[in-house]
């Protein structure tokens, strides 16, 4: 099976490592296959191949590189059903949800086609002394992208499309839980005309991640995942003189004002809170409702909508979301619910005893809702990557903003209101990188920058958008002068150069 292997030099390869790990079907709990884990010797081999291939690719014309990007977009569209099936089997999300993430991944390819525009340099004629000055961008060389389990197609494409377009050799390390989609993307890049060695995939766990962080041939690293791991990658990667962009956890709050359309707010909270079994870094985790009457009315509407949700396997017709990704993830969700109750939360909807007929061994969690959550509770303090959501109550907008800004994460935040004043204050004062006004999941489109604030991001770069082009390129500034061959040498001068 292709997904069980690495992709090196244009071919699937088990590598030199001896370790393996299981890939599960989360709907059944069964092992689908064993994944070969890469070791440092395998990475050395990958980098050796990538160095030569990347150098040639980086020197190729923009027209050639963008032609591959256009073709890759066509192939991803053609194979959407195949990719969605792979995502569903290994991640657990429904086919419709998987196709949605693939569509967002296409945005990254579409923006990458604009690479010649976003990377073009500057020119100034005669800055002084008949010296012309210009700048241009070149690829970093070899870049590594460490992707999460929750978006097996969208995030790898968001990370790598611009890296390929700007002329880098790319090493993708997908999550060891969901390697199948990365394997299929490898086939598509080859079919699109990308030269062998420009795109590589290495599978594994912390061992290969540490090797990537330390390898001298790798110049830049992009990561998406949990905060603890992301901070580790940022600190260790930068200590080895690499540029690192690390996109980490979120605890995304949704403020609901008394003047909001509560039907709209309830629908937004349920869809953005429970979609993908809540395994999204931009999922709405907490509704911060202003006013007791507003909270009581919204809660009634939310509970009614939760009651209509259907949980099932990725290919179950009409399923709203599937299982969480591992047995450990299911236990973490159930433990969080139990702790919330012990700490004084009101368990309004309990999804812990969900049974899905025919999938008794799967990692299914039903939707759960806890009301009267406070800032001293674990359920507010920690990112819970599963379908348990929180209701908090605030007396006014000031208190609601204080709750949002007190959290260590600042990935995204939303407000539902009809008030221009409230929305303007929210946008100006909330400490989050991506903001929604009557929009529950404010994920920017592919030509805008994606990234949070505070401990939701380490490093200055952003994913998607123009910042991706800057991250994957290095700037050179050239001062040049071509003197008149008939001119007379002015002699030696020891003064500091000036442009006068």
Question: 354-384 in b/e burial notation, b at 16+ Cβ within 10 A?
Answer: eebeebeebbbbbbbbbbebeeebebbebbb
Q: How far apart are the first and last CA of the chain?
A: 67
**Three-state SS for 345?**
coil
Q: Which of 135, 108, 115 is nearest to 62 (CA)?
A: 115
Tokens 């700037």, residue located = 475
Residue 490 burial by CB count (10 A; 0-12/13-18/19+): exposed, middle or buried?
Answer: exposed
Q: How far is 243 from 239, CA to CA, in rounded Å?
A: 10
Compute φ and ψ for 249, nearest 5 degrees.
-75, 170
Cα 123 to its chain centre, rounded Å, is 35
Q: In angstroms, what CA-CA distances link 335 with 39, 339, 340, 379, 388?
A: 34, 6, 9, 10, 11
Given the residues 47, 145, 281, 365, the one annotated as active site: 281
Note whether 220 and 243 are within 8 A (CB).
yes
Q: How far is 182 from 90, CA to CA, in rounded Å?
A: 12
Tokens 């999938």, residue located = 359
Cβ-proximal residues to 346 (8 Å cutoff; 6+ apart), any chain: 370, 371, 372
DSSP state of 195: P
Neighbouring CB atoms inside 10 A of 81's CB total 12
**Three-state SS for 202?**
coil
DSSP codes of every residue in 371-394: ES--TTSHHHHS---SSEEEEEEE
Cα 346 to its chain centre, rounded Å, is 33
Tokens 């812990």, residue located = 352
Cα 151 to its chain centre, rounded Å, is 7
Note whether 130 and 481 are within 8 A (CB).
yes
Q: How far is 85 from 181, CA to CA, in rounded Å?
A: 9
Element (H, E) at 329: helix 327-342
281 catalytic, yes or no?
yes
Q: Which of 18, 45, 491, 442 is nearest to 254 (CA)?
A: 442
List, by residue number, the catalytic residues. 281
């Amino acid at each position: 099976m292709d997904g069980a292997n690495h992709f090196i030099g244009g071919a699937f390869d088990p590598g030199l490592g001896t370790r393996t790990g299981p890939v599960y079907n989360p709907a059944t709990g069964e092992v689908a296959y064993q994944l070969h884990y890469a070791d440092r010797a395998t990475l050395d081999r990958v980098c050796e191949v990538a160095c030569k291939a990347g150098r040639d690719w980086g020197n190729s014309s923009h027209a050639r590189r963008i032609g591959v990007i256009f073709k890759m977009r066509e192939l991803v569209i053609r194979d959407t059903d195949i990719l969605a099936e792979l995502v569903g089997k290994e991640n657990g999300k429904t086919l419709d949800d998987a196709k949605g993430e693939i569509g967002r991944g296409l945005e990254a390819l579409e923006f990458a086609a604009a690479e010649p525009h976003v990377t073009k340099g500057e020119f100034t004629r005669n800055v002084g002394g008949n010296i012309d000055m210009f700048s241009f961008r070149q690829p970093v060389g070899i870049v590594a992208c460490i992707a999460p389990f929750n978006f097996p197609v969208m995030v790898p494409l968001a990370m790598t499309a611009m890296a390929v377009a700007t002329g880098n050799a790319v090493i993708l390390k997908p999550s060891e839980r969901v390697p199948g989609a990365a394997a299929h993307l490898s086939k598509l890049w080859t079919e699109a005309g990308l030269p062998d060695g420009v795109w590589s995939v290495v599978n594994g766990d912390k061992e290969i991640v540490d090797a990537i962080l330390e390898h001298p041939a790798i110049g830049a690293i992009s990561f998406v995942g949990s905060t603890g791991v992301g901070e580790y990658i940022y600190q260790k990667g930068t200590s080895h003189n690499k540029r690192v962009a690390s996109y980490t956890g979120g605890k995304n709050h949704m403020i609901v004002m008394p003047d909001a359309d509560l039907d709209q707010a309830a629908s937004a909270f349920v869809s953005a809170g429970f979609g993908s079994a809540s395994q999204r870094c931009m999922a709405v985790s907490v509704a911060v409702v202003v006013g007791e009457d507003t909270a009581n009315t919204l809660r009634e509407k939310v509970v009614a909508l939760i009651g209509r949700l259907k949980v099932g396997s990725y290919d179950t017709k009409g399923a709203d979301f599937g299982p969480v990704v591992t047995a450990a993830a299911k236990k973490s969700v159930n433990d969080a619910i139990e702790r919330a109750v012990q700490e004084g939360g009101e368990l309004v909807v309990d999804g812990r005893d969900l049974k899905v007929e025919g999938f008794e061994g799967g990692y299914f969690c039903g939707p759960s809702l806890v009301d009267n959550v406070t800032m001293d509770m674990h359920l507010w303090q920690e990112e819970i990557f599963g379908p348990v959501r929180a209701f908090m109550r605030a007396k006014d907008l000031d208190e609601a903003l204080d709750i949002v800004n007190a959290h260590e994460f600042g990935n995204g935040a939303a407000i539902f209101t009809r008030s221009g004043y409230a929305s303007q204050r929210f946008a100006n004062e909330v400490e989050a990188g991506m903001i929604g006004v009557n929009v529950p999941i404010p994920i920017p489109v592919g030509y805008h920058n994606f990234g949070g604030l505070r401990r939701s991001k380490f490093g200055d770069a952003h994913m998607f958008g123009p910042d991706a082009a800057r991250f994957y390129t290095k700037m050179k500034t050239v001062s040049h002068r071509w003197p008149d061959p008939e001119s007379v040498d002015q002699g030696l001068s020891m003064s500091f150069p000036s442009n006068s």
